[in-house]
Amino acid sequence: MKLTTKSGRNNKVHIMTDDEYALTIDSEYWYTSPWCVKKEIDEEEFEDLRQEIENRRAWLSAVDLLSVRNHSEKELVLKLRRKYSQNAAELAAKKAVRLGLLDDETFAQMYAEELVKRKKYGFSRVKNELRLKGISPEIIESVISSLDIDAKESIISVIERKYSRKISDEKGRRNVIAALQRMGYSYSDIKSALCEFGESDEYEEW
């Protein structure tokens, strides 16, 4: 197949095979690659080129995503998989780890602190959210042990901000208890916090 190129917008190069559009890549990559001097390409070579370009584009997308905020490795791979193959996504994530742009432990610490401070989540909800991001059990335990959470005080803060008008009757209390349990707090801590509002502690766990 004849291999030619056309310049595109925003430093893009459009790659043509036998005068038909095939692929697009950034000019920086193209003009520093050995492909740019080739005039002919066979099917096997074209597949190699296609994979290289996909890997390059996945990497550039990874850099863009990481420039916005930190990610876990699993989270980054899942986002890249929306546009690229599993292999390209994993290669980009591994490269980010190797270059120090991606670190699950750093991400987990920052994410956990955000969940505690901004969303007022309890330990069990924080653990679950970290699991969903693909964080290893070892890192989760290390991060959780470093968190400073006064469960009772956090629950009181949440009740005062969101539920103070809903705890005066049994149905309301049960709804509040369920909501707080979903936030990751234990029944005993919730019960203790409710007592600070003068509510009876005679209801049973359900």
pLDDT at residue 202, as a whole number? 52
pTM for the full model?
A: 0.80
The verdict on domain 3-98 having CATH code 3.20.20.70 is no
Confidence of residue 149 (pLDDT cuts 50, 70, 90): confident
pLDDT at 15: 93
Q: What is the pLDDT of residue 206?
A: 46
Residues facing residue 25 across a β-bridge = 13
**What integer pLDDT is reported at residue 148 of this predicted model?**
85
Specify the DSSP element, H or E, that contains 126.
helix 123-132
Confidence of residue 152 (pLDDT cuts 50, 70, 90): very high
pLDDT digits (tens, 9 = 90+) for 96-143: 999 999 999 999 999 999 999 999 999 999 999 999 999 999 999 999
Helices (H), the chain: 27-31, 43-68, 73-80, 86-98, 104-117, 123-132, 137-146, 151-158, 170-182, 187-195
CA distance 180 to 178: 5
**Per-residue pLDDT at 201 exceeds 80:** no
What mean pLDDT value characterizes the chain? 92
